[in-house]
Amino acid sequence: MSIRTILASDLDPIQANAWLTGSIAPRPIAFASTVNAAGVRNLAPFSFFNAFGSNPPMLAFAPNRRGRDGTTKHTYQNVAATKEFVIATVSHAMVQQMNVASAEYAEGVDEFLKSGFTPLAATFVQAALVAESPVQMECRLHQVVELGGGPGSGLMLIGEILCFHAKEEMLTNDLPDPRKLDHVARNGGAFYTRAMGDSLFEIAKPAGKPIGFDRLPEVLKHSHILSGNDLGRLANTAEMPDLSAMPAKPGDPEGAQDLEEAIAKAVRSEDLAEAWRLIGQRLWC
């Protein structure tokens, strides 16, 4: 295995941006709706974005200084002036229009008109909601964090969420349902990710204090059949089974390789009891 190391101090801001966005990916997209001091609407996407606390609920996104000349973007200027904003999430059905909204329009141009999205009145802030978005948050500015001052430097806007809005059809048991949102995220270059179908999967949370990788039988760790994910799933077993008491069943495979294939099959179908029973057999062959 060969690993390449790049010193951040050797990168110019454009290269650093390419390494950041290529490495920290996929990133969720904040579609930020703001108004300027005169009340003119603005809409632009930002993928330097995430949630940072639940009490009170906080998010942050970063409309950074332009890499070419260090000037600030309209979104930053509007939030600095009004201290409020709306963050809308972006579904796959919205990506092409969102891309149009990301162009650099002149001050005072309403990107709702340019991109064709539908503005709706918000409850607590002057900025508009985006009717097409599955989930949105009205926010009050909590803090501005300057991360430098030169071209490409970060301007992080932390907002306290005043309320969530979600389309009813996006909810299951009163919460946003990952299977319905069809959210998109940003990767490096011009790549995006769509969170839908096979791209979504569930993992059981660690069961209390799971047994851990270190307690797995050594023979399994050297298997060419069991993957890191198979071993990880076994390591997430709540209590170490008594491997000396695992009953054999008629029809059990006999060779080491066949047994490991059967173990892998059981793990991948979430039948851990059967996997451990077969592991008991594997230890004796």
Min. distance of Cβ 89 from ligand FMN in angstroms?
12
Min. distance of Cβ 43 from ligand FMN in angstroms?
7
DSSP 8-state symbol, 269: T
First to last CA, the chain: 33
What backbone phi and psi angles, to 5 degrees, belong to 224? -90, -5
Q: Which is nearer to ligand FMN, 64 or 97 (CB)?
A: 64
Min. distance of Cβ 79 from ligand FMN in angstroms?
9
Q: Which is nearer to ligand FMN, 150 or 228 (CB)?
A: 150
Nearest Cα to 21, choosing from 67, 87, 70?
67
The dihedral formed by the CA atoms of 34, 81, 123 and 146, expressed in degrees to the nearest 10: 70
Nearest Cα to 85, choosing from 133, 126, 145?
126
Q: Which is nearer to ligand FMN, 8 or 190 (CB)?
A: 190
Q: Which is nearer to ligand FMN, 119 or 232 (CB)?
A: 119
Give the Cα separation of 234 and 254 in Å (integer).
21
Min. distance of Cβ 109 from ligand FMN in angstroms?
8
Q: Quick check: 260 and 226 in contact, CB under 8 A? A: yes
Long-range contacts, stretch 47-55, CB < 8 angstroms, 24+ apart: 47/21, 47/185, 47/186, 48/154, 48/156, 49/87, 52/158
Min. distance of Cβ 42 from ligand FMN in angstroms?
5
Q: Which is nearer to ligand FMN, 186 or 277 (CB)?
A: 186
Q: Which is nearer to ligand FMN, 44 or 87 (CB)?
A: 44
Residues that bind ligand FMN (CB under 6 A): 29, 42, 44-48, 62-64, 73-75, 99, 102, 104, 186
Instruction: Find the angle CA(37)-CA(39)-CA(40) to the nearest 5 degrees.
Output: 105
Min. distance of Cβ 187 from ligand FMN in angstroms?
10
Give the Cα separation of 57 and 144 in Å (integer).
16
Min. distance of Cβ 13 from ligand FMN in angstroms?
12
Q: How many residues comprise the chain?
A: 285
At which residue do the structure tokens 């011009």 appear?
A: 190
Q: Which is nearer to ligand FMN, 109 or 162 (CB)?
A: 109
Min. distance of Cβ 186 from ligand FMN in angstroms?
4
Q: Classify each residue of 41-56 as buried b or exposed e, where b means 16 or more C-beta atoms within 10 Å of its C-beta.
A: bbbbbbbbbeeeeeee
Please report which helix (H) or strand (E) contains residue 237, including its range.
none
Q: Which is nearer to ligand FMN, 75 or 136 (CB)?
A: 75
Quote the tokens at residue 59.
């998010």
